[in-house]
């Protein structure tokens, strides 16, 4: 499963649960690992790993079934497939919503599946980050409670708000 997890939300959790029900072991690939502190990628790789682990522990999953790897920020191309193979243990199936990633892995002979639908209109990192930046507490409805707690612990909302106001000219935060 390849995603950025900015932040880890219920859509991600639903997909991980789907994968764990179908496979004995899964590899969670945290993409754009070298990016942080931007409006699109506000959380560090370590923070995203922590979000994934806390959410899965909260749901009672055996973390020995979940291998977490990080993938440096890459231009999306055939090279990305090489790097996923380089950074991951062997895998047979790729789970992604990204049509370009889908195409690249299909061209390399991998079976690619799309995660089952689960409120995709709202369960998007961009939507959740905008809610954080606006000061709305509604974002908490879209992430597991331990993820919300962790974001609070690290001052994540304040970081997102600052990044949106500092790096997106013309963006106005409203409380």
pLDDT tens, 67-77? Answer: 999 988 776 67
Give SS3 for 42. coil
Token representation of residue 31: 């993409």
Query: Considering the entire predicted model, what is its pTM?
Result: 0.90
Alpha helices in 23-155 (DSSP H): 45-58, 78-87, 99-107, 125-134, 145-153
pLDDT at 110 (0 to 100): 96
Q: Are 167 and 38 in contact (CB under 8 A)?
A: yes
> Once rounded to an integer, what is the mean pLDDT over residues 143-170?
90
Percent of the chain with pLDDT over 70: 94
Say how many C-beta atoms besides its own lie within 10 A of residue 8's C-beta: 32
pLDDT at 126 (0 to 100): 94
> Once rounded to an integer, what is the mean pLDDT over residues 21-35?
93
> Once rounded to an integer, what is the mean pLDDT over residues 135-160?
97
Distance, in Å, from the CA atom of 40 to the CA atom of 120, rounded to the nearest integer, reads 18
Distance, in Å, from the CA atom of 67 to the CA atom of 160, rounded to the nearest integer, reads 28
Q: Which domains does the chain have, with CATH numbers?
A: 2-167 (3.40.50.620)
Name the band, by pLDDT with cuts 50, 70 and 90, for residue 168: low
94-115 pLDDT, tens digit each: 999 888 889 999 999 999 999 8
């Amino acid at each position: 499963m390849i995603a950025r997890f900015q932040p880890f939300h219920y859509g991600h959790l639903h997909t991980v649960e789907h994968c764990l029900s179908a496979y004995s072991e899964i590899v969670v690939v945290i993409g754009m690992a070298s990016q942080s502190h931007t409006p699109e990628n506000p959380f560090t790789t370590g923070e995203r790993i922590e979000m994934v682990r806390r959410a899965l522990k909260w749901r009672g999953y055996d973390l020995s079934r979940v291998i977490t790897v990080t993938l440096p920020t890459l231009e999306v191309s055939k090279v990305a497939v090489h790097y996923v193979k380089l950074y991951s243990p062997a895998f047979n199936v790729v789970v992604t919503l990204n049509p370009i990633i889908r195409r690249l892995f299909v061209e390399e002979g991998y079976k690619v599946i799309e995660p089952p639908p689960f409120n995709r209109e709202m369960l998007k990192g961009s939507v959740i980050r905008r809610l954080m930046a606006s000061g709305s507490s509604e974002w908490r409805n879209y992430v597991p409670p331990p993820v919300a707690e962790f974001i609070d612990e690290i001052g994540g909302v304040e970081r997102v708000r600052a990044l949106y106001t500092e790096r997106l000219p013309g963006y106005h935060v409203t409380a």
